[in-house]
Amino acid sequence: ETGVTQSPTHLIKTRGQQVTLRCSSQSGHNTVSWYQQALGQGPQFIFQYYREEENGRGNFPPRFSGLQFPNYSSELNVNALELDDSALYLCASSTGGGETQYFGPGTRLLVL
Amino acid sequence: RKEVEQDPGPFNVPEGATVAFNCTYSNSASQSFFWYRQDCRKEPKLLMSVYSSGNEDGRFTAQLNRASQYISLLIRDSKLSDSATYLCVVRGPTDKLIFGTGTRLQVFP
């Protein structure tokens, strides 16, 4: 096991609602990256947090936002959910600087 | 054009077979290269990094050709437990990982 945990494991929401997903990074890791994986696709980079600051963002709209806390755990918030937001959301932790990223088990989100 | 392209498969091979996966990437500034393995409904797990000199880990051999922007993975003596999706992954100047869509492998008895 990687030591990266995510909660909840599964979630069902309706269009227009808001959701918060959580990630606890591996001990000693100060960097958390979030990815979205739609069915049949590879993971797509959403953003990365390093020492509580956003450190890079992919092609996702502003309704995708995040936080990192002093203990390096992180949240992903998605507002105004759309059907296409249904996906597996993965977080990965690392020590940054190009080091190996270790993935958590993911949160499976279904938007109805 | 996708940044990382892979043949989605599926590749259906018998136990003991040798199978090869290929991948191309578009950004010549890419700095690091990996193969990740993803089992059904699970998270991706790092299989191996890929170096310009080529590298081997047991039955797995990875090759990188920077001039052609091409990455390969060779699996020898396939096992049933090798059945999974293999993701080609590239990291650019920033720390984000760019994934291909994955190649599905099914090994049958």
Cross-chain Cβ contact B4/A42 below 8 Å: yes
Radius of gyration of chain B (CA): 13
Q: Which residues of B touch A48 (CB under 8 A)?
A: 95-96
Residue B28: predicted pLDDT: 87
- Write out pLDDT tens, residues A21-57: 999 999 889 999 999 999 999 999 999 999 999 989 9
**Spatial CA neighbour of B106 closest among B9, B2, B1:** B9
Give the mean pLDDT of chain A: 94
Q: Does A55 reach chain B within 8 Å, measured CB to CB?
A: yes
- Rounded to a whole number of angstroms, the distance from the CA of B93 to the nearest CA of chain A is 9
Please name the residue that has the structure tokens 């191309």.
Answer: B24
Instruction: For residue range B63-102, list pLDDT tens digits in order.
Output: 999 999 999 999 999 999 999 999 999 997 777 899 999 9
pLDDT averaged over chain B? Answer: 93
Cβ partners under 8 Å of residue A99, min gap 6: none
User: In which band, very low, low, confident or very high, does the pLDDT at B9 lie, cut at 50, 70 and 90?
Assistant: confident
Q: Which of B64, B61, B65, B87 is nearest to B74 (CA)?
A: B61
pLDDT of residue B15: 98
The answer to whether A42 faces chain B, any CB pair under 8 Å, is: yes
Task: Give the nearest partner residue to A43 out of B42, B45, B99, using CB atoms.
Answer: B99
